[in-house]
Amino acid sequence: MSGRVSDRPLAGVVWMLVTGVMFVAVTATVKHLGDRVPPAEAAFLRYLLGLVFLVPMVRQIRATRFTRRRTALFAGRGMLHAVGVILWFYAMTQIPLAEVTALNYLSPVYVSLGAAIFLGERFSWPRGIAIVCALIGVLLIVRPGFREVSPGHLAMMGTAVLFAGSYLIAKVMTDEVSPATVVAMLSVWTTLGLAPFAVSVWVWPSPSELGWLFMVATFATVGHFTMTLAFQAAPISVTQPVTFLQLVWATLLGWAVFGEGVDGFVLSGGAIIIGSVVAISIREARKKVRTPPVAP
């Protein structure tokens, strides 16, 4: 399928709305699952059960040439993602849904910073200002000195850094292999990376817990697919602002289902982080438009 963006803004917004629902459903399902199953094991089972979604990609995976360098990068990405997922599952048991969702928006900001440091991309003043604004948003959410900074907050900030590293490796690999292979290798290597952590804390999950974890895998897979459809339907300047609704839905769901309070500081900080992400995304999209495509 062509990577060209079509001019269907309404379709892009609708697909991004669905994406937001799916990703909030992932977070809420993990929150509902609780902490009886240790975070490392829950993360492992989520990825293990999700391997069933790789079946349609087998042909593309088999056609990929796996050099030593590519295998090392895929494995390294899997290890980063594995630790990040463990921290994310742990954070879900420690802090409110809205705070998890807001702090998760930091990943694209760290990706932008990492691209300048490790991939040689030019670091512009607008990008720097957006990153500073995002960090101000984090201070509003966490408010160190005004309330206790819990291990859950630290875990989510660590998750954002590790996921950013994972996405930077993906950025490199998408220039060399098919997107299906990149996604499949992430699932395989993350599962392998999580396995020893899961075994070390293993408790036997109940059938209902396995069912909930399979739902997590399903929601996540559908969310990534609909996000791709959104990016194909409309420019990122149209679809990216819609992601703010994820924070709104997570806040409402946390209040209505889990009895969590509505924190204006979290909403304000999340809005600032999202604004930074939107600014960076729009700038990167315009740069891509101005740059002639390179033939494969």
- Tens of pLDDT, residues 181-205: 888 898 999 999 999 999 999 999 9
Ranked by mean pLDDT, which of 1-5, 29-33, 71-75, 227-231 comes out on top? 71-75
Domain that holds residue 286: 9-290
SS3 144: strand
| pLDDT band with cut points at 50, 70 and 90 for residue 294 | very low
Measured at the CA of 293, the angle between CA 60 and CA 119, to 5 degrees, comes to 80
Q: Over the stretch 150-166, which tens digit does the pLDDT of each residue have?
A: 899 999 999 999 998 98
**Within a domain: 123:** yes
SS3 147: strand
164/48 Cα distance (integer angstroms): 22
Q: Which residues pair with 74 in a beta bridge?
A: none
Q: Return all residues near 98 (Cβ < 8 A) that are at least 6 apart.
A: 247, 250, 251, 254, 260, 262, 263, 266, 267, 270
166/92 Cα distance (integer angstroms): 20
**Within a domain: 3:** no
Total number of domains in the chain: 1
8/19 Cα distance (integer angstroms): 17
Task: With a cut of 50, say whether residue 82 has pLDDT above it.
Answer: yes
**Within a domain: 295:** no
Task: With a cut of 70, say whether residue 103 has pLDDT above it.
Answer: yes
Kindly tell me the burial class for residue 138, based on how many C-beta atoms sit within 10 Å of its own C-beta (0-12, 13-18, 19 or more). buried
Task: With a cut of 50, say whether residue 2 has pLDDT above it.
Answer: no
Task: With a cut of 50, say whether residue 12 has pLDDT above it.
Answer: yes
Tell me which residue of 129, 98, 140 sits closest to 269, measured CA to CA.
140
**Within a domain: 296:** no
- The pTM score is 0.81
98/260 Cα distance (integer angstroms): 9
| pLDDT band with cut points at 50, 70 and 90 for residue 285 | low
Q: Over the stretch 223-257, which tens digit does the pLDDT of each residue have?
A: 877 877 887 787 666 676 677 778 888 888 888 88
Task: With a cut of 90, say whether residue 141 has pLDDT above it.
Answer: no
| pLDDT band with cut points at 50, 70 and 90 for residue 7 | low
Dihedral of alpha carbons 87, 98, 104, 15, sign:
positive
Could you tell me the two tokens for 193?
């990376």
**Within a domain: 235:** yes
Task: With a cut of 90, say whether residue 206 has pLDDT above it.
Answer: yes
**Within a domain: 177:** yes
Eight-state DSSP code of residue 51: G
**Within a domain: 171:** yes
Q: Which of 61-75, 84-98, 231-245, 251-265 has the lowest mean pLDDT?
A: 231-245
